[in-house]
Amino acid sequence: MDALDAKYPFFASAREAVAAAAVSLPELVAADAPAVDRARERVERALLEGTVASESGSFPGESAYDAQAELLSYPIARILVSLLDSDPAIEKYAAAEAGTALERVRSDLETDDELRSVSSATVALDDLLAEFDLADAVRPDAAPAVGGAGGGSATAAGGPGRDPDHYWIGVGPYLRLTSSEWGDSWRLVNRAVAAGEVRVSRDELLTALEAAVEERVAEGLPFAVDEPIAGELESRVADLRRLLSERTYAEPPDVVAPALFPPCMTNLIEKAERDVTLSSAESFALMAFLVGIGMTPDEVVAFCADTSLDAEGIRYQTEYLTDERGTQYPPPTCETLANYGICHNEDDHMQVAADPLSYYEKRVAAADEVTDWRTARETDEPSEG
C-alpha cells in the first residue's frame, strides 16, 4: 500500500488497493488494529475540528500511523459515520475529508518539480483533474491575464515549474462543482465566460476540486453495516456520540470583546485586515470562534467588513456553522491550531485552556470591565431621521 493512496484514500486507485489487499475489514475491526483507532480519530476530528489529519503529525513522515493503517482507516471511518447515521455528521465528515485533502494538495503543488519527481507521494494538478474526469473540461489560460472576474493581475503562466495562475473550465462542470451561495463572485453572470468555458483562478479551481472530493466522499453514505462489524464497533460509536454531546458549549460567553480575544484569533483578524487571503483552515478557525462566542452571521459580516473575507463567503460559512440540525462545530483545539501554524502559544498560555473559546471565556470571566463591540457599534451608528 503506497503513501499516495493513504494520503488520498478516496482515489479510485486507493479503493482498488484496499480491494486487492489481503486484509479483511471485519478481522481488522475484531483485532482492534491501529487502522481502527485512526478511523475513530478521523471521524472524531472531522466532527469536532473540521479536519481528518492525525493529531500525531502530518502523514507521511510525522504521523504515528503507517501507510496501511492510514489507508484502511478510511473505509473503517466510513463505516463509523454510517453507524452514526446522521445527515449533519455525514456532511461534516465529507467536508473535513475534502478540506484536509485540499490542504495536502496545496502542499503537494508547492513541492517543486525536482522533488516531486523523486517523491511518488505527491499529486500534480493534472492527476487530480484526471481523477475527477475533468482532464478534458479544464485547460490552462494561455492568454495574458486581463483582470476582471476571477482575475487579478497575475500573469497566466505561473512561472517555470509552476502551474498556471488561471484556467478555463467548461460551464457544465463549473455549475456542478460550485455554488452561488459561495458569494456573488461565483455567479456565472459575474464571471468571464467564452465559448462555453468559465475563467477561474488556480485557487478557485482548487476550491471547485474540494467540492468534487466532498461529493465523492459523501457518495454512498450512510450504508447498511453488517451486524457483526456493527457490534464490534458499538462502543466506538457510543464514545463518538457521547463526545459530541459533551463538546457542545451550553453557555457561550455571548459577549464580543475583541481586546480579550486570544492571540491566535487576533492574529488572523489582523492578517485579514492587511488584505491577506486566509487559508481554509484559518478562515474556518476564525468563523468557528466568532460563531462560538455568540455572533450572528450578520454581526460577523459587519465585524469583518474591512478585511479580505468576502461577505457572501462569511455568510455561507457562519450559517453552516450555526446550523441547528446537528452538533455545532466547536472551534478547533489549540493543538490543532498549532499544527496548522495558526497558534504560537504566546507566554505558554496553552496551559490555561485547551481551545481558543475556553481561553476567551476565562479572560472574559477575569476582566474587570467588558465592553461589547455590539453595544459600541449601536452607539456609533447614526440614528435615523
337 lies in the binding site for ligand SF4 (CB under 6 A)? yes
Total binding residues toward ligand SF4, as defined by CB under 6 A: 11
Neighbours of 214 (CB within 10 A): 22
Contact map string, positions 232 to 271, toward ligand SF4, x by CB under 6 A? ------------------------------xxx-------
Member of 88, 345, 371, 374 binding ligand SF4 (CB under 6 A): 345
Compute the least distance from the CB of residue 315 to ligand SF4, in Å: 25
Compute the least distance from the CB of residue 335 to ligand SF4, in Å: 8
Cell of 286: 476564525
One DSSP character per residue, 176-237 reads HH--GGG-GGGSGGGS-EETTEEEEEHHHHHHHHHHHHHHHHHTT-S----HHHHHHTHHHH
Q: Give the β-pairing of 166-170 and 138-140.
A: antiparallel
343 lies in the binding site for ligand SF4 (CB under 6 A)? yes
Name the one range near ligand SF4 by CB under 6 A: 63-71, 94-102, 132-140, 341-349: 341-349
In 3D space, the residue among 292, 243, 3 whose CA is nearest the CA of residue 120 turns out to be 3
Which DSSP helix (H) or strand (E) runs through 170? strand 166-170
Compute the least distance from the CB of residue 233 to ligand SF4, in Å: 32
Member of 334, 339, 361, 363 binding ligand SF4 (CB under 6 A): 334
In 3D space, the residue among 130, 126, 94, 132 whose CA is nearest the CA of residue 108 turns out to be 126
Compute the least distance from the CB of residue 237 to ligand SF4, in Å: 29
Compute the least distance from the CB of residue 345 to ligand SF4, in Å: 5
Name the one range near ligand SF4 by CB under 6 A: 27-35, 299-307, 337-345, 368-376: 337-345
* Cβ nearer to ligand SF4, comparing 307 with 333: 333
* Cβ nearer to ligand SF4, comparing 303 with 360: 360
Q: SS in 3 state form for 102-161? A: HHHHHHHHHCCHHHHHHCCCCCCHHHHHHHCCCCCCEEECCCCCCCCCCCCCCCCCCCCC
350 lies in the binding site for ligand SF4 (CB under 6 A)? yes
* Cβ nearer to ligand SF4, comparing 251 with 347: 347
* Cβ nearer to ligand SF4, comparing 9 with 330: 330
* Contacting residues for 53 by C-beta, under 8 A, at least 6 apart: 45, 59, 100, 103, 339
* CB crowding 170-191: b at 16 or more within 10 Å, else e: beebbeebbeeebbeebeeeeb
359 lies in the binding site for ligand SF4 (CB under 6 A)? yes
Give the footprint of ligand SF4 on this chain (CB under 6 A).
262-264, 334, 337, 343, 345, 349-350, 356, 359
